[in-house]
Amino acid sequence: MTVKTAETRAALPRVTTALIFAFILVGGALRSVEAGCQNSLKLALKNVWLCGVISYAVAFTGFAIFLTVALLVSTNRPWPTRADIRSMPRWAPFGGLLGGAAILAMISVASDVGAGTFNALIIAGQMFGALAIDHFGLMGFPRRAVSPKRVAACALIIIGIYLMATY
């Protein structure tokens, strides 16, 4: 299970890229629905920690079902070798825990600022974090220097947040 970098990846056909972008857009739209689900859970249970545990338990169950179905219907069953697991960065499995911080923020404050502003702030945080990751080539990503256009894109996101929050 080798981590592919930009140098080892082939360019994708435009149709494939368009489908990937559509998949990501749908995933992004579902974040707003998720915020509504989390808010309803918080209002019903009155405990943000319990809401987080329930959210992750449901997600874990869903992924376990997807994995079981995939194993039953697929003949291609790639599993990592021991060498793959040993070569994995020690920090790699903690992505779920970091996602938990985002879920906690969603449960705690999304209803206070609204789904639009909350998601705009999430996107801004992702963009600033992504700029740093790209600029320094962290976590297996190829280096992409911070450019004035990329900084301008982040500034436009901040303007968008202001507009979402005030109107």
For 5-24, what is each residue's pLDDT tens digit? 545 557 888 899 889 989 98
Give the mean pLDDT of 143-156. Answer: 92
**Nearest CA among 114, 128, 115 for reference residue 157:** 128
Mean pLDDT for the stretch of residues 104-113? 87
Enter the pTM of the model: 0.70
Helices (H), 46-114: 48-73, 82-87, 95-113
